[in-house]
Amino acid sequence: MAAKPLRLLHAANLRIDCPLSGTGNLHDEIREIVETATLTAFERLITIAIEKDVDALLITGNTFDANYSSLTAEVALRDGFTRLDERHIPVLVTPGETDPISAWLELPRLPSNVTIFTDPDEEPIDLTDRGHLMATFMAVASDTSVEPEELLNILGGRTNRSGERPFVVGLLLPDRATGRQMQSQLIPARFAALDWLVCAAGTETHSLPLTDGHIHAQAAAQGASLAECGPHGATLLEVDTHRKTKKSLITLAPVRWERLTQTIDHSRTRDELLERMLAQLERLAPVKGELLRIVDWQLDRTSGEANGWESDDAANELAEALTELSDHPDGIRYVHRVRAVEPDLTLIEPAHREVLTEYLLALERRAPSGAGVFTKWLADAKVADMLKAGRHERWTEAVVPEEVTDLAQQLGWKWMSAVGKK
């Protein structure tokens, strides 16, 4: 068992000073919350690490985006790590897709408490307390393995006088197409001796080494778009003297995204519908630190009657009224988006219904495309040639694949329901 209770704080996808996507037009007060959201989440992370007196802060990937070259992010990063260094809290980092090791190496020298893992062959980092070995941190990759003989040697060399062995934590490195990795695909995977494996949410299972330890995939500290709904933050891992673990979500995000569905059945007036939507909002449990909620509403119905809610203008007016009723400058701020009711298939002419059904099924069958694919499509279409310099880049960054798919679906409904009408 460990020499004393161990506390670790794990964060991922901090994306410091990166803009949120799909927020739309916002007024000044709310815009400031959104523009500083990732910075606020990072500052809260550092404060929580100090308040909880953690033994180490673990950060697994995408701490910043090297493509933005943000001086603000660099300053915030250095200031935060320096605050932890003053309290002797080590920071263990793995690079990610947006912050490769080359970008970390270009930063000015970081405080001495920061260790950036770059290779699974690096020596493990030991965490001690008054001479007692509490934990061992090691970089791991998909091909990391420990032979039984090696495992005995490792544990034997890392066991203290009382027979206690350290809590072994593996930090997953980005998947790399190395010669060793290609060779490992031909050799049966071997066992990695870990108590806990930390990585970022969304990590492919083929990138994980074999282990009987717990695998914790950490979500972003601040949701970047509507695709990352709900409360976001970091995870506090506590290991007691009997090696029992407890993990808790520590919320950090000032901006919370939510998707809600509201039926229009039995709502005869706009006020009745608004009342039911406000009741849904009240059932959303508040979380510490949230300043703004951006809510995407899907109107639904079981009958064929849409009662005018298939109109975009009516949906937008409903969103404005809902924002006016729920948004409070002295409390949680709100921004609402309401999507119009989809037309009833039975109202579409039979000749066109089959075409629409196939169109919608094709959208569902198509694998979701990431932002990188959309960027390539826009480049191939030479959209930049039609826009002023600088506008294309900002527009491309604001593209949210999920929103494009939703819009394509809505357009399909409108096209087919309008065919044959004058």
Which pLDDT does position 324 carry in this prediction? 93
The last residue of a domain, from among 285, 312, 341: 341
Same domain, 301 and 400: no
What angle (nearest 5°) sits at the alpha carbon of residue 293, between those of residues 288 and 297? Answer: 135
Same domain, 407 and 330: no
Same domain, 129 and 184: yes
The last residue of a domain, from among 301, 322, 341: 341
Give the three-class secondary structure for 249: strand
Which pLDDT does position 179 carry in this prediction? 40
Same domain, 120 and 201: yes
Q: Which domain holds residue 323?
A: 254-341
Q: Is residue 286 part of a domain?
A: yes
Which pLDDT does position 422 carry in this prediction? 40
Same domain, 20 and 134: yes
Which pLDDT does position 148 carry in this prediction? 47
From the CA atom positions of the chain, what is the Rg in Å? Answer: 25
Which pLDDT does position 267 carry in this prediction? 81
Same domain, 28 and 148: yes
Same domain, 321 and 181: no
Residue 319 φ/ψ, nearest 5 degrees? -65, -40
Same domain, 126 and 168: yes
Q: Is residue 1 part of a domain?
A: no
Domain count, the chain: 3
**Number of helices followed by number of strands (H, E) in the chain:** 12, 14
Which pLDDT does position 369 carry in this prediction? 60
Q: Is residue 83 part of a domain?
A: yes
Given CA atoms 341, 342, 347, 349 in this order, what sign does their dihedral have?
Answer: positive
Same domain, 20 and 101: yes
Same domain, 217 and 112: yes
The last residue of a domain, from among 317, 341, 365: 341
Which pLDDT does position 309 carry in this prediction? 84
Single pTM value for the model: 0.77
pLDDT in tens, the chain (422 residues): 445 789 999 999 999 999 999 888 888 889 999 999 999 999 999 999 999 999 999 999 999 999 987 899 999 999 999 999 999 999 999 999 999 999 999 999 999 999 999 998 888 999 988 878 889 999 998 888 765 444 555 555 545 445 567 899 999 998 765 444 444 444 455 577 889 999 999 888 778 888 888 999 999 999 999 999 999 999 999 999 888 999 999 999 999 999 999 988 888 789 999 999 999 999 999 999 999 999 999 998 876 667 778 888 889 999 999 999 999 888 999 999 999 887 655 555 666 666 766 766 776 666 556 666 666 766 776 666 665 555 545 555 556 666 666 667 666 656 655 654 54
Same domain, 331 and 238: no
Which pLDDT does position 112 carry in this prediction? 96
Q: Is residue 67 part of a domain?
A: yes
> How many residues are recorded in the chain?
422
Which pLDDT does position 205 carry in this prediction? 79
Q: Is residue 22 part of a domain?
A: yes
Q: Is residue 394 part of a domain?
A: yes
Residue 61: how many CB atoms within 10 A of its CB?
26
Q: Pick the closest to residue 168 from 132, 200, 137 (CA basis).
A: 137
Q: What residues does 287 pair with on adjacent strands?
A: none
* CA distances to 200, 223, 389 from 136, in Å: 20, 31, 50
Same domain, 116 and 215: yes
